[in-house]
Amino acid sequence: MNQIEARTTVYTDGACLGNPGPGGWAWAVPGGRWRSGAAARTTNQRMEISAALDAAHTLDGPLEVVSDSTYVVNCFRDGWWERWLARGWTGAAKQKVANQDLWEPLVELYRTAPGRLRFRWVKGHGADPFNDLVDRLAVAAATSQRGGEGVHPPASGSVGPADAPSSRPVPARPVAAWPVPARPVPARPAGRGAALGDGTGATLRSARDADVEAVLRLWQVAGARPGVTDDAASVRLLMARDPMALIVAEVAGAEADGGEAHGGEADGGGAAGGGAAGGGAAGTGEMVGSLVAGFDGWRAGLHRLVVHPRWRRRGLGLALVAEAERRLVAQGAKRAGATVVLEDAYALAFWEAAGYTRQAGTRRHVKDLE
* Whether residues 210 and 154 fall in one domain: no
Q: Which pLDDT score, from 0 to 100, does residue 324 have?
A: 93
CATH no. for residue 18?
3.30.420.10
Q: Which pLDDT score, from 0 to 100, does residue 278 have?
A: 33
- Is 284 a residue whose pLDDT tops 80? no
- Is 68 a residue whose pLDDT tops 90? yes
CATH no. for residue 269?
3.40.630.30
Q: Which pLDDT score, from 0 to 100, does residue 94 have?
A: 75
89-98, 266-275, 296-305: segment of lowest average pLDDT: 266-275
Residue 187 lies in a domain: no
Averaged confidence pLDDT in the chain: 78
Q: Which pLDDT score, from 0 to 100, does residue 167 have?
A: 32
Which pTM value belongs to this model?
Answer: 0.51
Whether cis (ω within 30° of 0) applies to the bond prior to 165 is no
* Whether residues 125 and 218 fall in one domain: no
* Whether residues 51 and 127 fall in one domain: yes
Residue 169 lies in a domain: no
- Is 264 a residue whose pLDDT tops 90? no
Q: Which pLDDT score, from 0 to 100, does residue 129 have?
A: 92
Q: Which pLDDT score, from 0 to 100, does residue 63 have?
A: 97
Region 323-351: mean pLDDT is 84
Q: Which pLDDT score, from 0 to 100, does residue 351 have?
A: 85
- Is 276 a residue whose pLDDT tops 50? no
Region 331-340: mean pLDDT is 87
Region 337-360: mean pLDDT is 79
**AA letter at 122:** V
DSSP 3-state of 206: strand
Residue 184 lies in a domain: no
Of 132, 158, 184, which residue constitutes the final position of a domain? 158
Q: Which pLDDT score, from 0 to 100, does residue 163 have?
A: 64
* Whether residues 228 and 362 fall in one domain: yes
Residue 133 lies in a domain: yes
Number of domains, the chain: 2
* Whether residues 141 and 290 fall in one domain: no
Q: Are 3 and 62 in contact (CB under 8 A)?
A: no
Q: How far apart (Å, rounded) are the C-alpha atoms in residues 337 and 95?
A: 19
The edge-to-edge listing of strands for the beta sheet with 21-28 is: 117-121, 63-67, 8-16, 21-28, 34-42, 148-150
Q: Which pLDDT score, from 0 to 100, does residue 346 have?
A: 75
- Is 204 a residue whose pLDDT tops 80? yes
Say what percent of the chain tops pLDDT 70.
75
Q: Are 146 and 159 in contact (CB under 8 A)?
A: no
Residue 70 lies in a domain: yes
39-48, 106-115, 245-254, 277-286: segment of lowest average pLDDT: 277-286
Residue 342 lies in a domain: yes
Query: Of 11, 54, 26, nearest to 144 (Cα)?
Result: 26
Output 67 or 286, whichever has higher pLDDT.
Answer: 67
65-69, 130-134, 253-257, 311-315: segment of lowest average pLDDT: 253-257
- Is 273 a residue whose pLDDT tops 60? no
CA dihedral 329, 227, 286, 90 (to 10 degrees): 40
How many residues can be counted in the chain? 370
Inter-helix orientation angle 316-330/345-353, to 10°: 50
pLDDT band at residue 218, thresholds of 50, 70 and 90?
Answer: very high
Residue 191 lies in a domain: no
**Which distant-in-sequence residues (6+ apart) come within 8 Å of 331 by Cβ?**
182, 183, 185, 295, 300
Region 203-218: mean pLDDT is 92
What pLDDT digit, counting tens, does each position of 286-307 carry?
A: 899 999 999 988 889 999 999 9
* Whether residues 128 and 276 fall in one domain: no
Residues annotated as catalytic (active site), given as ranges: 13-14, 48, 68, 125, 135
The domain in which residue 69 lies consists of 8-158
What pLDDT digit, counting tens, does each position of 161-172 carry?
A: 666 443 333 233
Of 123, 158, 193, which residue constitutes the final position of a domain? 158
Output 5 or 227, whichever has higher pLDDT.
Answer: 227
* Whether residues 115 and 19 fall in one domain: yes
25-29, 212-216, 312-316: segment of lowest average pLDDT: 312-316
Q: How far apart (Å, rounded) are the C-alpha atoms in residues 276 and 346?
A: 24
